[in-house]
Amino acid sequence: MRILFLGDVVGRSGREAVARYLPDLRARLAPDLVVVNAENAAHGFGLTPEIARALFAAGADVLTLGNHAWDRREIIPYIEGEPRLLRPLNYPPGTPGRGAGVFGVGQRRVLVVNAMGRLFMEPLDCPFRAVEALLESHGLGRTVDAIVIDLHAEATSEKAAFAHLFDGRVSLVVGTHTHVPTADWRILPGGTAFQSDAGMCGDYDSVIGMQKEGSAARFVRRLPAERLAPAEGEATVCGLFVETDDATGLARRLAPVRVGGVLAPSWDGG
């Protein structure tokens, strides 16, 4: 199975880049499933129903969120009725929406999970225990053919520990949230594909997707009220492409994806 994951979509420039490049990526890579993190898609903070529908129309099959999940209150009724939109699994019981979903890909089934780290983040329920409990009901070769986990977290150490804990039991653990693509993509010893952070779909002539002036002023003047707005230059689409073994559900091939903008391009069209 071929899976394409795209990192955090930031603002209008990120949305436009996804709409521009995703159809071509689908044609070149022929993914069976496309997962996109969309938690910064609405002016850098949150997601609206209209933008979610536009990302689905652009070619996303599943959207994931993170710590900005509820910044746009209009997403709350929408997420209740849209199973393709996931918020972190480890939000407390009773939180709107769902943190995981099983999606049909022809005759195969893929479990997609969105979880959020706790180190330097909100004090949510433990993502390790939440995913462990979920995997009691789902397993590779048992109920699903592939398992994809978007771990939305700040600390690389937490992401790496999470990936090693679930190595051999899931197809892919990919980090989001820090907006910078890391150079550590690899297949772990047990067969799980991993990258600490997929990077963002946004303008990299910025401070992690936000305009440079307001971001720098926050550091210089230490005033939290400094205005932050998404950078609006040409965006780079960043992500990870994974091919899994149909017999085991584990990764057999992966490659970073970067197109457009100022970062060096990288993709695997084979």
The answer to whether 239 touches 14, Cβ cutoff 8 Å, is no
Q: How far apart are CA 88 and CA 99, in angstroms?
A: 5
CA distances from 104 to 32, 38, 80, 107, 138 (A): 10, 21, 20, 7, 14
Q: What are phi and psi of 112, to 5 degrees?
A: -110, 130
* Residue ranges of E strands in the chain: 2-6, 33-37, 62-64, 85-86, 100-105, 108-116, 146-152, 172-176, 186-187, 193-195, 237-244, 251-259
At 7, list the tokens: 């990192």
Q: Which residues are catalytic?
A: 68
Starting at the edge strand found earlier in the chain, the sheet holding 33-37 runs: 85-86, 62-64, 33-37, 2-6, 237-244, 251-259
Residue 162 CB burial class (10 angstroms; 0-12, 13-18, ≥19)? buried
